[in-house]
Every structure is written in structure tokens, then in C-alpha cells.
């Protein structure tokens, strides 16, 4: 599909609006959810404690609820991650963004890594929810990234995700190409970290990315609407929130 054939929803439904900064106030969190609704994005990825609020605010909309598991370092025990997943689902979460145990990946402890990811996927899939597995590629070598792609494929992860947005680097073209090449077709790719412009969103789409985590949602989609000659979204009562 060419750029000119893309609809607004083709692009807005690529964005998981990130409301993840630990310094956000309650007002900023509420404004962020309202912004996501106004721009009709794919999901709101919110601080875990605010999931109940988010679920209530998004009820009846086409914007899905998502939150983080084992964030941002992936160092929580598997039992803790499993509990986090169960609690998030109980609070209304539909999509869970979990961080792999980075230390175990770098140590080559692949049985642990597989079991850790599998525990969250099992909880989520039993509840008909979806999982995005965050690699945090900035800390990994190519061999480790490929191995994670293979594990995600075998465990039927719903997405493989580049980054938390809180590491030393975000999504890169080389990493996107590698992940799309080595993940099975049923595993979608999510890019996060550094997705701040409309052109970058289009570039990610061309590389096979289906979802992008972003906090610059308003900036990206305002430009999208200008390109498509659509009216501006009324944002008088909204203020952007900083996620990652």
C-alpha cells in the first residue's frame, strides 16, 4: 500500500500512546488518556497502577488498554512477573508489554529466559490477552537478538518489541530488519524509543512494523492529518504527556 493510499486509521492504529514516565501527575495521566481517545490510537500503554482508571476511561472505545510487566529492567523474578500479569488483566489490561530478563539473556541462560517469557504469555493467552516481548536491544548483540526472536516465535508471542524507551537506545532500522527476518510471520514487530515524527512512523511501517510506542502521538498524528487534508483534532482541553 502506497503512502497516498493509507487512511488515517491505518496510521493512528499503529500507535501505542505511552504514558509511562514515573513523574507524571494524575492530571497528566488523565490528559494522556483523553488525548489517545481524541486521536483514536491503537492503545494506551500506561503505568500499571493506573490501569483500572485507564480501563474505565477507554471503555466502549476502539482504543485498547496496555501496560508494562517487569519494567523497565526485566529483573523481577518470574513469579513476580506472573503476578503482575494477573493483576494487570484483573484491572482490565488487554495487551501486556513485558521486559525479558536482560541479565539472563546476556548470560546465555536461555532456559530461564524461555520460561520467564512463557510464564507471562501463558497467563495472558489463557485470558485471551496479548503479549509484547521487549528485548531492550541496545544492550544485546546480534546473536542474542536472534535467539530471542526464535524463542518468541516458538512461544507464540504476539509481538517482539525493540526497546523500553528507557535504555541507552531505542528502535533502529537494523534491529527492525533483523527482528522481522528472524521472527516467525505470526509474531508482529513493535518499535519503541525515538518514534517522534510522521516520517519515522511511515518508515517503520515500510520495514514491517505494525505497532509503535510513542509519546509524541499528538505531533505525529497532527502531521498525518495535515498530509491527508483532515481537520485538526480539538485539543483545547488536552495537554500532551511525556512517556518515552
Just list the catalytic residues. Answer: 97, 161, 190
Distance separating alpha carbons of residues 44 and 15, to the nearest angstrom: 9
Determine how β-strand 159-161 pairs with β-strand 130-134. Answer: parallel
Instruction: State residue 107 phi and psi, 5-degree precision.
Output: -90, -5
Distance separating alpha carbons of residues 100 and 18, to the nearest angstrom: 19
Distance separating alpha carbons of residues 46 and 139, to the nearest angstrom: 24
- Which residues touch 204 (CB under 8 Å, ≥6 apart)? 14, 171, 176, 191, 195, 212
The Cβ of residue 107 has, within 10 Å, a number of other Cβ atoms equal to 11
Beta bridge partners of 189: 160
The Cβ of residue 224 has, within 10 Å, a number of other Cβ atoms equal to 21
Q: Helix, strand, coil proportions of the chain in percent (round to 5)?
A: 45, 15, 40
**Residue 172 burial (CB < 10 Å; 0-12/13-18/19+)?**
middle
Amino acid at each position: 500500500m502506497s503512502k497516498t493510499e493509507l487512511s488515517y486509521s491505518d496510521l493512528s492504529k499503529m500507535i501505542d500512546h505511552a504514558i509511562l514516565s514515573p513523574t507524571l501527575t494524575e492530571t497528566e495521566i488523565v490528559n494522556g488518556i483523553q488525548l489517545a481517545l481524541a486521536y483514536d490510537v491503537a492503545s494506551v500503554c500506561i503505568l500499571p497502577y493506573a490501569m483500572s482508571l485507564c480501563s474505565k476511561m477507554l471503555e466502549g472505545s476502539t482504543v485498547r488498554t496496555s501496560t508494562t510487566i517487569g519494567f523497565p529492567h526485566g529483573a523481577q523474578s518470574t513469579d513476580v512477573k506472573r503476578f503482575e500479569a494477573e493483576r494487570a488483566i484483573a484491572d482490565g489490561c488487554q495487551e501486556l508489554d513485558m521486559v525479558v530478563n536482560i541479565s539472563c539473556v546476556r548470560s546465555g541462560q536461555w532456559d530461564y529466559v524461555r520460561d520467564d517469557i512463557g510464564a507471562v504469555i501463558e497467563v495472558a493467552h489463557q485470558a485471551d490477552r496479548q503479549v509484547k516481548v521487549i528485548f531492550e536491544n541496545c544492550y544485546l548483540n546480534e546473536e542474542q537478538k536472534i535467539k530471542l526472536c526464535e524463542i518468541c516465535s516458538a512461544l507464540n508471542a504476539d509481538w517482539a518489541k525493540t526497546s523500553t524507551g528507557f535504555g541507552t537506545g531505542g528502535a533502529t532500522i537494523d534491529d527492525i530488519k533483523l527482528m522481522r527476518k528472524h521472527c516467525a510471520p505470526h509474531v508482529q514487530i513493535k518499535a519503541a524509543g525515538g518514534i517522534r515524527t510522521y516520517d519515522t512512523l511511515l518508515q517503520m511501517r515500510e520495514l514491517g512494523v505494525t505497532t509503535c510506542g510513542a509519546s509524541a502521538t499528538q505531533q505525529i498524528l497532527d502531521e498525518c492529518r495535515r498530509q491527508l487534508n483532515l481537520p485538526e483534532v480539538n485539543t483545547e482541553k488536552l495537554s500532551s504527556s511525556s512517556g518515552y
